[in-house]
Amino acid sequence: MIRVVLPPHLRTLARVDGDLQLEVKTPVSQRSVLDALEVKYPMLRGTIRDHVTKLRRPMVRFFVCGEDLSHESPDAPLPDAIAKGTEPFLIIGAIAGG
Amino acid sequence: MSKVRVLVGTKKGAFILTSDGARKRWKVSGPHFAGWEIYHMKGSPVDPDRIYASQTSGWFGQIIQRSDDGGKTWNAPGSSAEEQKSPDGMPKGESNKFVYDTSPETGRPLTTHQWYDGTQHPWEFKRVWHLEPSLDDPDHIYAGVEDAALFESTDGGKSWYELAGLRGSDTGPKWQPGAGGMCLHTILLDPSNPKRISIAISAAGAFRTDDGGKTWKPINRGLHSQYIPDPTAEVGHCVHRMALHPSRPNTLFMQKHWDVMRTDDAGDSWKEVSGNLPTDFGFPIDVHAHEPETIYVVPIKSDSEHYPPSGRLRVYRSRTGGNEWQALTKGLPQRNCYVNVLRDAMSVDSLEPCGVYFGTIGGQVYASADAGDNWKPIVRDLPAVLSVEVQTLP
C-alpha cells in the first residue's frame, strides 16, 4: 500500500483524516499515484493537476523522502520506500501568500 | 411564519445565517468548507433548498459544491458512487472542469485580452465569481468566471460548457482585468424574456444577449470612464455591479468604478444618477424587493482608498431611482470604520418590510429589517466577506 498525505484543504474536500492508503499499480510513479488517488477520490480531479493537460498545478508540490520531486517526470519511478509504503508521498500546497 | 436564510461567502469558508421572519435572532452555521475561499453561494428560486457554492483556492483551483437540503449537507455534483464512473470506468469528477470552448462547431478560438501593462495575454481560467441559478429549473445554472466568460450547466452542476459567443465577440482583445482580475461578476436574468441575459465584466463593461447566449453585444453607451484612453469607448469600462427589479427588467442600475448609472432601455443607453452621493465610487448596488425605484449603494472614498468616507459606514438609499440619495446610518459605525463592502456582498429579502443585508471585509454582516432605516450586525467577526445572498423561505 502506498501512503499519501494530502494538504489540509484537500483533506477537507475529500473528507479524510490523516494519511491515505492506496493500492497503486507498478511501476509506482507520480502519475500512477495520482491516477489511483483520483479514482478513489474523484472530487480531487482538477485540484492537484490540470483536468486537461494533466500537468501539476503551479502551486502544488510533491515531496518524497526529503526531496522535492515536483519537477521530475510524472512517469519517473518513485523510490522503493514509497512503493513499499515505509515513506509517504507528500502533496503540499506551496508556501506562498497568506 | 416566513424564514430568512443568509448565505455568506468569505475568504476562509461559508456561513449560513438563519432567522424567523422577525429577523431579530440569528443562528449561525459554519464554517462550511473551512479554509477555502467561497466566492459566492446562491439558491434556486424554484427550489430554495438547492444551493450552489463556488469554492476556490489559488493553490487547488475551482470546486463547485451543491446542497439539496438547504445547506445542511454538501456534495460536489456528480461525485456520488453511482455517478462518478464514466463508461471506461474512470471517475468523471467534472463538476469543477471549466474549459473554454474552442471547438469549431460551437466555440471560439482562444484569443488574448489586454494585460495590466497593455500587452496581450492569453485567456486562463482562474475561478467562478458568481453563480446564477435559472428562474425555472433547479438543474440549470450559469457561472460567471475569471478570465471573463459565461458558463452554463443543465445537469445540476455536474458538467459545464461555455457560452462562447460572449468571449468570442469582436471586442474581446480590448477587455482588461480590473484590480481584482478580469472577472464576469454579474448575471441578470430577465424574468419576462428567457432569451435575454445581461452580464457585466470588470473591466470590459456590460453585455447583453437576446438569443439565449449565442450572440452578445456591448451595452455601454452613456458610460464615461476617465481611466481609459477613450472615456466613451464601446468596451473597457470597469462595471462593479448591476441590479434589476424583476417587475421592470428593462431598468438596470449600475455601480461603476466611479458613477452610479441607470438605463430604462435594457442597456441601450445609460445616464448617470449619482446625484448628491458623497462619492460615487463603490461596489455593490441593489434594489428594494417591493419598490422598483428604491435602490441602495455603499459609497467608498475612492479607487485608491477602499473604505467609507470619513470613517463612517453609510448605506445610501434613493427612493427616486437615483439622483436623490439619503444616508442611512442608524446602527452602523460612524467613527473609525475603514472596511470595504465588495460587489456581491449586498442582498435583500422579500419580506414586508423589505430586509437589506451586506457584509464587509472586516467580517461583519449587517442587516436591516426595515428597508435600511435601522441596522444591526447579525455577526461581526467572520473572515472577510466576499458575498451575501438572501433567501426568503415560506
Contacts of A55 (CB under 8 A, 6+ apart): A49
Q: Across the interface, do A57 and B99 touch by the CB < 8 Å criterion?
A: no
| pLDDT tens, position by position, A61-94 | 999 999 999 999 999 999 999 999 999 999 999 8
DSSP B28-48: EEEEESTTSEEEEEEE-SS-T
Residue B87: predicted pLDDT = 59
Measure in Å the smallest separation between the Cα of A31 and chain B Cα atoms.
15
Q: What angle do CA B79, B59, A62 make, to 5 degrees?
A: 90
Contact A9 B36 (CB under 8 A): yes
Q: How far is A86 from chain B (nearest CA, A)?
A: 27
Locate the chain A residue with the closest alpha carbon to B60: A47
From residue B189, alpha-carbon distances to B186, B194, B265, B270 in Å are 10, 7, 15, 19
User: Are A9 and B63 inside 8 Å of each other by CB?
Assistant: no
> For chain A, where are the alpha helices, taking DSSP H only?
8-14, 30-40, 80-83
Question: Which residues of B, range 18-37, sit inside 8 Å of A by Cβ?
Answer: 33-36
Q: How far apart are CA B219 and CA B242, in angstroms?
A: 12
Cβ atoms within 10 Å, residue B183: 26
Whether residue B84 lies within 8 A of chain A, CB to CB, comes out as yes
Mean pLDDT computed over A40-56:
90
Which residues have a Cβ under 8 Å from the Cβ of B216 and sit 6 or more positions away? B165, B166, B169, B207, B208, B209
d(CA B248, CA B242): 14
Nearest to B84 among A7, A42, A97 (CB): A42
Smallest CA-to-CA distance from B202 within B27, B343, B365, B74 is with B343
Q: What is the CATH number of domain A2-93?
A: 3.10.20.30
Sheet of B281-287: strands edge to edge?
B281-287, B295-300, B315-318, B326-328
Residue-level pLDDT at B91: 54
Predicted pLDDT of residue B30: 96
pTM of this structure: 0.95
Q: How far apart are the first and last CA of chain B?
A: 7
B7: Cα separation from own chain's centroid = 13
CB contact under 8 A, A47 and B92: no
pLDDT at A98: 47
- What is the identity of the amino acid at B351? L
Q: Would you kindly state where each structural domain of chain A is located, as residue ranges?
A: 2-93
Say whether the ipTM exceeds 0.85: yes
B61–A47 CB contact, under 8 Å: yes
As a whole number of angstroms, the distance between CA B206 and CA B225 comes to 13
For the record, the C-alpha cell of A37 comes out as: 488517488
What is the predicted pLDDT for the residue at A95?
A: 80
**Looking at residue B117, what is its pLDDT?**
85
pLDDT tens digits along B3-47: 999 999 999 999 999 999 999 999 999 999 999 999 999 999 999
The Cα–Cα gap between B53 and B74 comes to 9
pLDDT by position in tens, chain B (length 394): 799 999 999 999 999 999 999 999 999 999 999 999 999 999 999 999 999 999 999 999 999 999 999 999 999 887 765 665 655 555 555 778 899 999 999 888 888 888 888 888 999 999 999 999 999 999 999 999 999 999 999 999 999 999 999 998 888 888 989 888 999 999 999 999 999 999 999 999 999 999 999 999 999 999 999 988 899 999 999 999 999 999 999 999 999 999 999 999 999 999 999 999 999 999 999 999 999 999 999 999 999 999 999 999 999 999 999 999 999 999 999 999 999 999 999 999 999 999 999 999 999 999 999 999 999 999 999 999 999 999 999 9
User: Which value, to the nearest 10 degrees, does the dihedral of the CA atoms of residues B367, B240, B57, B43 take?
Assistant: 50
Residues of chain A in contact with residue B12, where contact means CB-CB under 8 angstroms, are none
Q: Does B62 touch chain A (CB under 8 A)?
A: yes
CA-closest candidate to residue B14, choices B44, B45, B52, B49: B52
Q: Are B325 and B275 in contact (CB under 8 A)?
A: yes
If DSSP codes are grouped into helix, strand and coil, which group holds residue A13?
helix
